[in-house]
Amino acid sequence: MTTSLANQAWDACSSALQFDQYLAGELDPPDAERFRAHVDDCARCTSALNELRSGAKERLPPLRVVPFPPRSRFPIRALAAAAGIVAAASLLLVVRSPGTRSKGTGFTLGMYVEHQGEVRRAGPGETVAPGDAVRFAVSAPVDVFVAVLSLDANGHGSIYFPAGGRAERVQAGNDVALPLGTRLDATAGEERILGLFCASPVELEPLRLQLERGGPEIPDGCQVTRWSFVKR
Amino acid sequence: MSLDAGAIERLYRSHGHIVLRRARALLGSEEDAQEALQEVFASLLRAPHSLRNATSVVGWLYQSTTHFCLNQLRNRRTGARLLQSSVAPAPAHVAGRGGEVLAELRRVLSRLPADVAAATVYHHLDGMTHAEVAGLLGCSRRKVGYLLERAQRSLALLEQSA
């Protein structure tokens, strides 16, 4: 095995799984007793156990998945209706993590940033640098027409995706990378991103112009996702 | 074993640290590890019956975390490859200053087939015996030996080509 793997290896006489099962009370009493007896006589295992116990005290953030009552009060989105999605399936509201913005029925927009050779998944408000490359990825339960627009700190609107003048069809899937990446220019400041998920290939130039004037008005049959990053 | 939302919330409080610890080790990123923590329990809320046949909640969390994290590593690799293949060349002052995209270990895991990568993680990083790995993967110990042998060969090839 490579040196890197050896360096990462769990360093105790029993596996990490067995330690966790012991702490969770999952071992049978005789096995737990044998485990305890060994740990008492083994400095390395005592240290591992103490470390796990210490880690178990860490305060976790709230669980971001909120159980819903079976009958949702939330309206069926126009796109969901067009796509034939049954709203009754929405028993859970998932508050998505940073790096993914979603609205409605499972359409999400993620962004990857390449900075000096390293690629990371970006979150809203991410700080990026001129020359960084960005690429968007979408997750969608059904095929959908997608566009990504931006408004930079100087008020200039751009269409990041697609290259043509209309929203482009993207197949259903998880984290499907859009086929165009962008190398960021030198305009510093906050850049606002608008992701559109539409039931039809909407015209984008009017939306770009509206974006520059403080809009846009979201076309019927579209959902919008907004976030921003800061270039400095 | 099938849990209601309240029980899953309690499980999150009592066992979430296991997911977080392993996700940190596998992904090497606090933000991604927090994402893994949320996603593992979100998947349980969406499909609580997935625990029905589990003999160990801890074992199920190990499987679920490993599966999610290895997918994340593969997605990172895909993202990196797509960026390199489809983005216009970087300006001269930016190109060439880059370091490695991922740490060696994560890069290696992202290149292995899913079952080989999972066996590698369980055996080499979690210190599991072949029997424990077989229990989590739902296969024979002989199969585990075969998967680990494949991992060794793949790693040797990757090291030669590096």
Listing DSSP states for A88-119 in one string gives GG--EEE-PPTTEEE-SSS-EEEEEEEETTEE
Q: Are residues A109 and A133 in the same domain?
A: yes
Name beta bridge partners: A92: A67
The count of other CB atoms within 10 Å of the CB of residue B134 is 20
pLDDT reported for residue B67: 94
How far apart CA B124 and CA B144 sit, in angstroms, is 12
Q: Are residues A51 and A154 in the same domain?
A: no
Q: Are residues A135 and A49 in the same domain?
A: no
**For B76-96, what is each residue's pLDDT tens digit?**
766 566 555 544 443 333 333
Residue A5: inside a domain:
no
Residue B109 to residues A198, B30, B140, Cα–Cα distance (Å): 37, 19, 22
Residue A113: inside a domain:
yes
**Per the CB < 8 Å rule, is A177 touching B82?**
yes
Q: Are residues A52 and A143 in the same domain?
A: no
Residue A3: inside a domain:
no
**Per the CB < 8 Å rule, is B87 touching A16?**
no
**Per the CB < 8 Å rule, is A131 touching B57?**
no
Q: Are residues A45 and A75 in the same domain?
A: no
Q: Are residues A33 and A77 in the same domain?
A: no
**For A5-14, what is each residue's pLDDT tens digit?**
445 578 899 9
Residues 6+ apart with CB under 8 A from A156: A187, A212
How far apart CA B103 and CA A155 sit, in angstroms, is 39
Assess whether pLDDT exceeds 50 at residue A90. no
Q: Are residues A72 and A175 in the same domain?
A: yes
For A160, the enclosing helix (H) or strand (E) is: strand A157-161
Q: Is A76 exposed, middle or buried (0-12, 13-18, 19+ CB in 10 A)?
A: middle
**Per the CB < 8 Å rule, is A60 touching B83?**
no
Distance from CA of A119 to the nearest CA of B (A): 6
Of B96, B94, B87, the closest CA to residue A133 belongs to B87
Instruction: Show the CA angle centred on residue B7, arms to residues B132 and A60, nearest 5°.
Output: 80
Q: pLDDT: is A193 or A131 the higher one?
A: A193
pLDDT reported for residue B35: 87
Q: Residue A224 sits in a domain of what CATH number? A: 2.70.50
Residue pair A187/A153 in contact by the 8 Å Cβ criterion: yes
A125 pLDDT band, cuts 50/70/90, is confident
Residue A222: inside a domain:
yes
A35 pLDDT band, cuts 50/70/90, is very high
Q: Are residues A141 and A203 in the same domain?
A: yes
**For B89-145, what is each residue's pLDDT tens digit?**
433 333 333 334 346 677 788 888 999 999 999 998 899 999 999 999 999 988 989
Q: Are residues A144 and A69 in the same domain?
A: yes
Q: Are residues A29 and A130 in the same domain?
A: no
Residue pair B109/B98 in contact by the 8 Å Cβ criterion: no
pLDDT reported for residue A180: 65
Residues 6+ apart with CB under 8 A from A190: A153, A228, A229, A230, A231
**Per the CB < 8 Å rule, is A20 touching B58?**
yes
Q: Domains in chain B, please, with CATH? A: 1-102 (1.10.1740), 112-162 (1.10.10)
The count of other CB atoms within 10 Å of the CB of residue B156 is 11
A89 pLDDT band, cuts 50/70/90, is very low
Domain count for chain A? 2
How far apart CA A205 and CA A207 sit, in angstroms, is 5
- The answer, for A67 touching chain B at a CB cutoff of 8 Å, is yes
Enumerate the residues of chain A whose CB falls inside 8 A of the CB of residue B98.
Answer: 116-118
Residue A50 structure tokens: 């103490």
* For testing contact with chain B, the best of A97, A108, A118 (most B CBs within 10 A): A97
* SS3 label, residue B28: coil
Q: Are residues A119 and A72 in the same domain?
A: yes
Those of residues 18-37 in A touching chain B at CB distance below 8 A are 18, 20-21, 24, 26
Distance from CA of A83 to the nearest CA of B (A): 21
Enumerate the residues of chain A whose CB falls inside 8 A of the CB of residue B126.
Answer: 10, 15-17
**For A39-86, what is each residue's pLDDT tens digit?**
999 999 999 999 999 999 998 887 765 443 333 333 323 223 323 332
* For testing contact with chain B, the best of A13, A18, A63 (most B CBs within 10 A): A63
Question: What interface predicted TM-score (ipTM) does this complex get?
Answer: 0.84
Q: What is the DSSP letter of B124?
A: I
Q: Are residues A208 and A134 in the same domain?
A: yes
Residue A85: inside a domain:
yes
Residue A203: inside a domain:
yes
Domain that holds residue A45: 12-56
Residue A4: inside a domain:
no
| In chain A, alpha helices (H) | 3-8, 16-23, 29-41, 43-56, 78-83, 205-212
